[in-house]
Chain A
Amino acid sequence: MTDAALPRRQPIALRFPSVMIFLAVLALFTVGVTILSEGFGIGVISTSFIKTLGKTLCLCLVALAMDLVWGYCGILSLGHMAFFGIGGYAIGMWLMYARTEIIVLESLAAAELPPTAQEVSDGIATQIFGVVGSSEFPPIWAFAHSLPLQLAAVVIVPGLLALVFGWLAFRSRVTGVYLSILTQAMTLALSLHLFQNDSGLRGNNGLSGLQNLPGLDEVPQATVSLWFFWASALALGLGYVLCTWIVAGKFGSVIRAIRDDEARVRFLGYPVESFKLVVFTLTAVIAGIAGALYYPQAGIINPAEIAPIASIYLAVWVAIGGRGRLYGAVIGAAFVSLLSTWFTGGQAPDINLGFYTISWVDWWTVLLGLSFVAVTLFAPKGIGGLVDLVTDRKSPNRHGADLGPDQGALREQEAEK
């Protein structure tokens, strides 16, 4: 592990070698995929699989956020996929608006009279909302014309929603399962709201065609998919460093203490609610950013993406990967979502039992559900727990060292095994 004799303020990367390992693996992976891609490399990996990989990286990022809020702070939020979706909607609005604006301007340019601003706006609205039987811009689209404003919305809207909701919930000391149910209700309310056409976001249809970047019609999807893949990898890398930095310091110790015994931390004089609120809001922002990167790769966002089940799956990934450790969340999200794609994609071979053929398309969900029960019962540490098997082999020497976050509850004399 770390060198015991070094002063306290050591770079995070050195205190947490897992960061270095993670970043190295991520970089290798990104370079490797690029070389194998259709866009810039030898074309072994198809564009659709690049998109799948890029999306998986975004899911890893949101899983990271989930791990921070649940694994470290003990808040089992069943609402983070809602923030993820909001991020997607925010960027999707601009993508749709800008792409449509180009089309409308082109078509109006050929008209005999130069178009008025109203005609342009009506034209865009008809194009976007014609499909849901409307031709007027709802107020929620007021900033859709501006990329910077919508990018700001990616961060601000989930953050603000999390801030208000969190403030209300934590203030009235809603904790534990109650909070989980409440966040789930929030997610349900949001998705029901978006399902309505009156929400102004095209109801059930959602926003689509997001993979076509405005003004870049000539750039093939093979290239665009790589851009997003890189961006997702970068975001994941930065997110990982940020999360490590957060959990490494005193702040990290406090939120872990809150997870373990909230009342005690409160009696020690820490403003528990504020700490929780900061974590909740910050992770919502991370989720929003992940969503903004995910949906242009998926191509379409609709309210079904926000349904409560999505957030529960998020918790499943983190639990299977191993919560309370950041790389666990990443492993869980990548492993389960890729495995899911493989099984539901029909590529997995069916098992013929003679009297019954197990078709994985049908039975994968059952397997997932049951394996989840099994992980909870028998391997609470998840896949990440496997790492402990390796690291535990080396007996730790913690004299004088900064006690690591994962063993934070240990006292120094206990550390000597």
Chain B
Amino acid sequence: MSMKFLSTTAAAALLVSTLPALAQDVSCPIKVGVLHSLSGTMAISETTLKDTMEMLVDIQNEKGGLLGCELEAVVVDPASDWPLFAEKARELLTVQEVDVIFGSWTSVSRKSALPVLEELNGLMFYPVQYEGEESSKNVFYTGAAPNQQAIPATDYFLDELGVEKFALLGTDYVYPRTTNNILEAYLKDKGIAEEDIFVNYTPFGHSDWSKIVADVVALGADGKKVGVISTINGDANIGFYKELAAAGISADDIPVVAFSVGEEELSGLDTTNLVGHLAAWNYFQSADTPANEEWVAAWKARMGDERVTNDPMEAHYIGFNMWVNAATAAGTTDVDAVRTAMYGQEFPNLTGGTAVMLPNHHLSKPVLIGEIQADGQFDIISATDPVPGDAWTDFLPESAVLTSDWKDLGCGMYNTATSTCVQIKSNY
């Protein structure tokens, strides 16, 4: 691992070690909890993140650890079983007494761990794109909120591809449901009529896509350009893309933009028939920056040549480094002190530019849109300026009045219409 691309943290760590004035109320080693499923259905996605965290901790230790202490990763396995996330979070915080947790993938697992984190005043970094409508005092959301992925992708459809009719296809769970709700409201705002929005939900692992694909094709019957926004999750994508390819739908006729299909998912597919379809993320492995090249090289050197990097990994990369810098700045790993130090933390993205932690616990990050290539990678065809993550969407009436500001207002669910804090804790 090159020193250059983490030089910021190294310099900061060096700085602190020369500042004895800071109170060092930390007990060595500093424990970093890793709450990712290593077995069960989510293991495939989450194991990668566990490996990422171990790699990040090792890199940090090579650079001399944090606050004069070694870092130690405490890995537990919640086994893709949602109640276990709460149980394991409690175990990490009370039995292992970790200083910070990096974990969760699905929203429901985050919602399961939330009450425990808030009760015990823990600190968790959540690395996956999600549906928003939440801002917990004890969670930093390093993945994309809807306005950092879904909305820019929809704008791209509207402006760049001239799509006039939308098929919102999703797996039936909370992320697609909420995202599609937001998108429906957004599209109506943009003057798309209700009858030009087709919404369909399928179960996890759905495989019989012929009718749905036929329905999408039939949408073109009124002469409007059709585009598909897919929040289809996991395995179901395989059947969907196979059927799409079989129906001979090219990206020029009916473009598909996916929010849950990344480099990992494409590795289970023959992508020759999918070239040109799109995905929106904050990170693609193909990003052409020196920092990313080193990151990918380090990852492949550690895990093997066939392994790919993806967006949630970058989220952990940014989140972990921000936490290190915040703890360094605060001189302690105490949750409240670190949280205060987190606001305004900046760290360079792997894709260029700088991510900034906002007072609503979300990041400001650029949004990338990539076209699927024949080799299973993405060709980045559009990158926006950094977009500040919005905890409460502006496109649903109930949420539009809400805002989150932990720094000044001290509230994650603040009603601007009535100027009151709806609640300090979160909705679970």
Contacts and interface: CB of A to CB of B under 8 A. Distances in A.
A322 interface: no
Nearest to B397: A135
Contacts of A192: 203
Contact of B94 (A48, A134, A206, A304): A48
B277 interface: no
A133 B203 contact: no
Given A48-B87, A299-B86, A300-B111, A103 B423 contact: yes
Given A52-B87, A107-B415, A344-B77, A127 B174 contact: no
Contact of A209 (B173, B180, B398, B428): B428
Q: Give the contact-size bracket for chain B.
A: 35 or more
Interface string A367-386: 00000000000000000000
A345 interface: yes
A203 interface: yes
A361 B77 CA distance: 8
B240 to A, nearest CB: 18
Contacts of A126: 398
Contact of A130 (B39, B76, B427): B427
B427 A204 contact: no
Given A208-B111, A362-B39, A128 B82 contact: no
Nearest to A113: B418
Interface in A94-140: 100, 103-104, 106-107, 110-112, 126-128, 130-135
Interface string B169-202: 0001110011011100000000000000000010
B82 A304 contact: yes
A195 interface: yes
Given A47-B94, A192-B203, A304-B82, A205 B399 contact: no
A132 B178 contact: yes
Contacts of B38: 346, 361
A221 interface: yes
A131 B111 contact: yes
A261 B349 CA distance: 72
B108 A300 contact: yes
Contact of B420 (A52, A110, A197, A299): A110
Nearest to B89: A48
A344 B86 CA distance: 15
Contacts of A2: none
Nearest to B38: A361
A228 to B, nearest CB: 14
A221 B93 CA distance: 13
B361 interface: no
Interface in A17-75: 46-48, 51-52
Contacts of A107: 415, 418, 420-423
A183 interface: no
A133 B181 contact: yes
A196 interface: yes
A147 interface: no
Interface stretch (B19-27, B112-120, B261-269, B321-329): B112-120
Contacts of B79: 344, 361
Interface in B191-229: 201, 203-204
Given A107-B415, A208-B428, A304-B82, A346 B77 contact: yes
A299 B119 CA distance: 13
B115 A299 contact: yes
A316 B177 CA distance: 36
A361 B178 contact: no
A131 B133 contact: yes
Interface string A332-357: 00000000000011100000000000
B201 A197 contact: yes
Contacts of A51: 87, 90
Most chain-B Cβ atoms within 10 A of its Cβ — which of A100, A110, A131? A131
A209 B82 CA distance: 12
Interface string B217-256: 0000000000000000000000000000000000000000
Interface in B69-90: 75-77, 79, 82-83, 86-87, 90
A221 B174 CA distance: 28
Contacts of B133: 130-131
A195 B115 CA distance: 23
A133 B420 contact: no
B108 A208 contact: yes
B174 A204 contact: yes
Nearest to B425: A103
A232 interface: no
A104 B422 CA distance: 7
Most chain-A Cβ atoms within 10 A of its Cβ — which of B181, B182, B204? B181
Interface in A206-245: 206, 208-209, 211-212, 221
A298 interface: yes
A205 B398 contact: no
A217 to B, nearest CB: 9
5 contacts: A107-B415, A128-B427, A131-B131, A131-B427, A196-B172
Given A111-B418, A208-B111, A299-B112, 6 more contacts: A46-B94, A103-B422, A130-B398, A202-B174, A299-B116, A344-B77
Give the 8 A-B CB pairs with smallest separation, nearest first: A209-B428, A133-B181, A204-B173, A298-B83, A208-B428, A48-B90, A133-B178, A299-B86
Interface of B: 38-39, 75-77, 79, 82-83, 86-87, 90-91, 94-95, 107-108, 111-112, 114-116, 119, 131, 133-134, 172-174, 177-178, 180-182, 201, 203-204, 396, 398-399, 415, 418, 420-423, 425, 427-428
